[in-house]
Structure 1
Amino acid sequence: QKNKVRQALPLFEMIHSVDSLTLAQDINRIAEEEGLFPRVLLEVNVTGEGSKFGFAPDDLHEQMEALLALPRLSIEGLMCIPPLTVESEDSRKFFVEVRELRDSLEKKFRMKLPQLSMGMTQDFPIGIEEGATLVRVGTAIFGERRARKGDL
């Protein structure tokens, strides 16, 4: 959320959801103003759905030079959120796609992207099998979220 960048930057070790070049540029500008060097993950839209956030894989290849030119950002890797499925195994193809995208970006741009944030409570074992270095398991720890009034 672009409107929260200034407040979030000093609070977090890493931003896991940089989903556009515009957001990356905003983070870079604010980081320069604040004297920070944030670590970030680039969010990949693995489904191609317009309702999902993130870089389309082809767009990421095209925009990577512009992203790498942002001097304040340390791009550490990629993050994805596959569609919710009944079977956790169904997430595997999306995790494979993101791992292969990471590998191709590393080769093309001669860089290291050591972090892959793939997998949530329902599918994190599959994410780990496919190379995840970070998983998000909040539901397993804290339980299901309660619906807010505006969500009903």
Structure 2
Amino acid sequence: MSNIAANIAAVQERLANALQRAGRRHDDARLLAVSKTFPADAVQEAYAAGLRCFGENRVQELCDKAPKLPADCEWHLIGHLQQNKVRPALEHARWLHAVDSVALAQRIQRLAGDLSVAPTLLLEVNISGEESKFGLAPGAVEAVLTALQGGPGCCRGLMTVAPLHASERELHAVFAGLRTLRDQLVARTGMALPELSMGMSGDMDIAVAEGATIVRIGTAIFGRR
């Protein structure tokens, strides 16, 4: 078994254990393998080990890598998306995790219509309030949800990135904050927002405990960059 295959097995066991501890079903959260900066060969190893969902941070890397992998890979763009790169992103990614403005939402909907694609969208929220991070302030999220209504792109939930060196208490607060915001938005708008993309290699267990449905795992699968 390759290192990547062994790493995937270990992460899957860790995810299963975290879900069990949280009293959640075994299929309540999915593993997204973050392959940014790793070559297509590494992604092919992960594919051979059974993974099908892969995340990239940069549009150019996504466009270079996706055509080299099997067609049934499901690509997620998880990094910041500039408006001038929406078209190539939509040509390869089925999921966009970092929608963070009304203008970006409107451009995605217009170009998705032009390309006859229906991406799944998540709104990035800066729950921690860090100035260095992208993402919507919690109070700005509902306006973007409104801008997305009626277009081909379907918003399915929220995404956040926790502070790099946060304590366990801070991590719980950030992830619980995203879940609470989602619940409030569902109550106010009546929209279904089932997805919470949160948690990475170092904080996956806490994210699962607070309701993550997608965990974005890079280092624990592919190694350090």
TM-score tier (shorter): 0.7 to 0.9
Match of 1:16 among 71, 94, 97: 97
Q: What is the distance in 1 between the residues matched to 2:96 and 2:143?
A: 22
Match of 1:56 among 137, 155, 158: 137
- For the pair 1:37 / 2:118, whether they are aligned, the reply is yes
What is the deviation of 1:20? 1.4
What is the deviation of 1:83? 0.6
1:103-136: CA deviations, max 9, x gaps?
Answer: 0011100111011001011001000011100001
Q: Contact between 1:88 and 1:122, CA under 8 Å: does it hold in 2?
A: no
Matched residue type, 1:111: M
Aligned to 1:149: none
Which of the two has higher C-alpha Rg? Answer: 2
Q: What is the distance in 1 between the residues matched to 2:205 and 2:125?
A: 20
- For the pair 1:79 / 2:173, whether they are aligned, the reply is no
TM-score (ref. length: structure 2): 0.60
Q: What is the distance in 2 between the residues matched to 1:22 and 1:49?
A: 22
Aligned to 2:171: 91
Q: What is the distance in 2 between the residues matched to 1:25 and 1:62?
A: 11
CA pair 86-62 structure 1, distance change in 2 beyond 3 A: closer
Q: Contact between 1:19 and 1:44, CA under 8 Å: does it hold in 2?
A: yes
Indicate the SS of the match to 1:100.
helix
Higher relative contact order (CA 8 A, sep 6+): 2
Q: What is the distance in 1 between the residues matched to 2:102 and 2:113?
A: 16
Q: What is the distance in 2 between the residues matched to 1:91 and 1:114?
A: 20
Indicate the SS of the match to 1:10.
helix
CA pair 49-86 structure 1, distance change in 2 beyond 3 A: closer
Q: Contact between 1:89 and 1:126, CA under 8 Å: does it hold in 2?
A: no
Matched residue type, 1:46: I
Match of 2:109 among 15, 28, 31: 28
Matched residue type, 1:126: I
Matched residue type, 1:31: A
Aligned to 1:126: 206
Matched residue type, 2:89: A
What is the deviation of 1:77? 0.5
1:61-104: CA deviations, max 9, x gaps?
Answer: 344322324x1220011000011125444311000000000000
Indicate the SS of the match to 2:132.
coil
Q: What is the distance in 1 between the residues matched to 2:166 and 2:175?
A: 16
Q: Contact between 1:14 and 1:40, CA under 8 Å: does it hold in 2?
A: yes
CA pair 93-42 structure 1, distance change in 2 beyond 3 A: same
